[in-house]
Amino acid sequence: RKEVEQDPGPFNVPEGATVAFNCTYSNSASQSFFWYRQDCRKEPKLLMSVYSSGNEDGRFTAQLNRASQYISLLIRDSKLSDSATYLCVVNRNNDMRFGAGTRLTVKP
Amino acid sequence: EAGVVQSPRYKIIEKKQPVAFWCNPISGHNTLYWYRQNLGQGPELLIRYENEEAVDDSQLPKDRFSAERLKGVDSTLKIQPAELGDSAVYLCASSPGQGNSPLHFGNGTRLTVT
């Protein structure tokens, strides 16, 4: 079993749609969690950290469920510019592990 | 703040040749990572440094890969000899290493082995 697993995707949604990605992790001692965004042929960039109480940044909402060992990312009112691959990252003692990523395409 | 700097951006070599990648992390970032990313997959950790010490190299193919971070600042990753399967993007990242800080990535080096 992989340490970090994500929805395989791809997700193809119309503009304005709401889309959610899930990510599960195997190490219950994991300490912190992040969502990264990666555009085609670019490096991953931090989208947002995921806090225990859940957190929101504009149209993006991240949630953490430690008991079930999963994190989620919700994107509301999707824009064409949201098209990218979204990577889930799980950290324990600076050991940062990535999921395989979920590709999102937002269409007009 | 200057970001993580990697070079070269692209490298094309023939199999069995050596290749080296260089990374300069963000100033003050003690933790440095080398990842390899294949098409359609997430980054896979090769090696992690805390200052000049390699604290996790369990996934580094040591028969052909080597890395160093002699002064605890910039780092090099070397492959010798390269194989066709080494074609990938090699990403360097750094973090302060404290308080569950996120990673900051360089632009990566796209390696093609022919």
For B57-94, the pLDDT digits (tens) are: 999 999 999 999 988 899 999 999 999 999 999 999 99
CA distance A91 to chain B (A): 7
Q: Which residues in chain B are closer than 8 Å to A6, comparing Cβ atoms?
A: 42
Q: Which strands make up the sheet holding B5-7, listed edge to edge?
A: B5-7, B19-24, B75-79, B65-68
Residue A59 vs residue A7, higher pLDDT = A59
Q: Do A86 and A65 meet the contact criterion of CB atoms below 8 Å apart?
A: no
Q: What percent of chain B has pLDDT over 90?
A: 91
Whole-angstrom distance, CA of residue A9 vs CA of residue A103: 6
